[in-house]
Amino acid sequence: MLGQMMNVPLVIPSLLEFAAKYHGDCEIVSKTVEGPIHRYTYVGMARRARQLANALRGLGLGEGDIVGTLAWNGYRHVELYYAVSGIGAVCHTVNPRLFVEQITYIINHAEDRYIFTDLTFVKLLEGLADKLPKVRGFVLMTDRAHMPSTTLPKALCYEELLAGQPDTFDWPVVDENSAAALCYTSGTTGNPRGVLYSHRSTVLHSMAVNFADAFALTARDAMLPVVPMFHVNAWGIPYAAPVSGCKLVMPGPHLDGPSLTSLMETEGVTITAGVPTVWLNLLAHIKETGKRPSKLDRVVIGGSACPPAMMEAFEGLGIRTIHAWGMTEMSPLGVINSPTRKTEALPAAERAAVALKQGRPLFGVDIKIVDAAGEDLPFDAVSFGSLKVHGYWICSGYFRQDPVPAHEEPGWFDTGDVATIDAEGFVKIVDRTKDVIKSGGEWISSIDLENVAIAHPAVREAAAIGRPDEKWGERPVIVAVLKPGASATAEEIRAFYRGKVGKWCEPDAVIIVESLPHTATGKLLKTELRRLYGG
């Protein structure tokens, strides 16, 4: 017997139309590439998204077509999220920080029909245009006054495209399982792989982002996503904010400490989200000036492990940190750290140790850890194994690719991370499977070693890698960058490990360098580090 409830499809335009109707005067503020601040409301955004939808139809785009974007966090990019998916097409965010060869591969693999680009990336695209045979045209996300002269074929101006278009649009009723957005993972080996999100997965994920034990966005909050819209849809924030009528503050290309703190202050930002490398810069700036954004209440930290020293620094400023873990393949939210009745009652040191874990699954995500034979391991905080996930917003395969081992077990996706899980379901990521240091049969977590180095007062950033060793298989080596003006010798940093980790985990060597290589999404580039310092 079927229930007698309305069968309303979960589709992306409904998020924005809801905000326009019930949170109509809530603002979206963007620092633009052109310079000035742009501000309007969800009513204005919905109006322009409908105009854009009409314009996209005018370009001959429709269901199943893929539209690429190379753009920062800004209002026009959000309009594209809604209009492209809204007409039944697929919004493909391309990470402009990738190598040119990867960008070319991604655009061609996805067969993007049009590319929408911020002015910043016009030169980059000019260099590639003749290698992109499937792209019919380029749209520069600016107005006529700022249109540069360009060699891009059939270059259109975004504002001219919208001008004169009706601001009404009947969003087609698409199947909630149809494709809505596409994002490629920036793997360190092989070609990037496409993750194809559906309307349904995106809407469900948006609701989960809003859970009280997740980002807890409200109509009183102002959220500034530092995490780029080309990295897993800025962790779903442009879809989640309208659900709660949360103000959106978009930093555009201005991601340095001074720009972020000043925008946070003027726009009353209460919550922000990004990877640890971004927070290193922000914290350094706050320390220098002695001023923290006055309304900032919580910072979501994910993408790489949050070092204890970073958590302490934020807490010292009265800013709550929310540690979260996920992946492009998971839309991205998997687990998030929020205290429970039980953990809140723990003594301070134990509470802090729990807060450093990556967190517990949100409703919608199930997790397990398995050993090398694929057997389930207990949730005892000690056993560690490959972390597998299952749920509403987790990919079941890669776009236009044969199944890969990660999807071998039906219903489970192998994340490539090694983790422990405690009895309450708190996950502690030990490492990426590929980065864990295997020494004499013991596994050493590179994350744990990095956290110790960063706690040294002179160290700004550190990476732990395994160096091949005849006797032990691998031995840990630390590559560290010092804080500006600080001094410490390699031997001092090595001595700092004594008593903080097991004797066998102490690094064999510390190498002090000027800077560390990062991936296009701000993570430490371990393959390159091993090449440079692992010999």
Report the residue from 285, 323, 407, 456 that binds ligand AMP according to the rule CB under 6 A: 323
In angstroms, rounded to a whole number, what is the distance separating the alpha carbons of residues 432 and 154? 44
Beta-carbon contacts of 359 under 8 Å, excluding residues fewer than 6 positions away, are 323, 324, 325, 335, 336, 337, 338, 426, 427
Of 119 and 463, which has the nearer Cβ to ligand AMP? 463
**Least separation in angstroms between CB 424 and ligand AMP:** 17
Which of residues 88 and 332 has its CB atom nearest to ligand AMP in the complex? 332
CB of 270 to ligand AMP, least distance (A): 21
Point out which residues pair with 444 in neighbouring strands. 437
Pick the binder of ligand AMP from 305, 319, 436, 462 (CB under 6 A): 305
Structure tokens given for 414: 């192998």
- Name the minimum Å distance from CB 296 to ligand AMP: 20
- Candidates 255-263, 298-306, 470-478, 479-487 — which segment interacts with ligand AMP by CB under 6 A? 298-306
Taking the least distance from each CB to ligand AMP, the nearer of 102 and 415 is 415
Contact track, ligand AMP, 230-259, x by CB under 6 A: --x---------------------------
Whichever of 56 and 389 has its CB closer to ligand AMP, that residue is: 389
Taking CB under 6 A as the criterion, which residues in 327-356 touch ligand AMP? Answer: 327-328, 332
Among 464, 367, 345, smallest CA distance to 414 is for 367
Q: Which two tokens stand for residue 130?
A: 């003749």
- Residue 2 burial (C-beta neighbours within 10 Å; 0-12, 13-18, 19+): exposed
358 binds ligand AMP (CB under 6 A): yes
Three-class SS of residue 352? helix
Our finding on whether 518 is near ligand AMP (CB under 6 A) is no
Tell me: does residue 304 bind ligand AMP (CB under 6 A): yes
Tell me the three-class secondary structure of 223-280, residue by residue.
EEECCCCCCHHHHCHHHHHHHHCCEEEECECCCCHHHHHHHHHHCCCCEEEECHHHHH
Secondary structure, 3-state, 358-404:
CEEECCCEEEEEECCCCCECCCCCCCEEEEEEEECCCCCCCCCCCCC
Residue 527: which residues within 8 A CB-CB, separation 6 or more?
188, 189
Single out the segment in contact with ligand AMP by CB under 6 A; choices: 27-35, 236-244, 409-417, 498-506.
Answer: 409-417
Please choose, out of 6-14, 84-92, 346-354, 412-420, the segment that lies near ligand AMP by the rule CB under 6 A: 412-420
Check: CB of residue 260 under 8 Å from CB of residue 252: no
| Site size with ligand AMP, rule: CB under 6 A | 19
- Contact map string, positions 166 to 185, toward ligand AMP, x by CB under 6 A: -------------------x
Residue sitting closest to ligand AMP (CB): 328
The binder of ligand AMP chosen from 85, 202, 445, 521 (CB under 6 A):
521
Beta strands in 364-521 (DSSP E): 365-370, 384-391, 413-421, 427-432, 437-439, 442-444, 459-469, 473-482, 509-513
Taking the CA atoms of 70, 76, 82 and 86 in sequence, report the sign of the dihedral they define: negative
Question: Which of 38, 146, 432, 460 is in the footprint of ligand AMP by CB under 6 A?
Answer: 432
CB of 404 to ligand AMP, least distance (A): 15
- Binding status of residue 325 toward ligand AMP by CB under 6 A: yes
Question: Which residues does the annotation mark as catalytic?
Answer: 185, 329, 438, 443
Least distance between ligand AMP and beta carbon 100 (Å) = 19
Kindly state the smallest distance separating residue 488's Cβ from ligand AMP, in Å.
Answer: 26
Contact between residue 115 and residue 69 where contact means Cβ atoms under 8 Å apart: yes
Instruction: Sort 486 into a burial class: Cβ within 10 Å, 0-12 / 13-18 / 19+.
Output: exposed
Q: Which of residues 198-237 bind ligand AMP (CB under 6 A)?
A: 232
For binding to ligand AMP (CB under 6 A), which residues are involved?
185, 232, 302-305, 323-325, 327-328, 332, 358, 415-417, 429, 432, 521
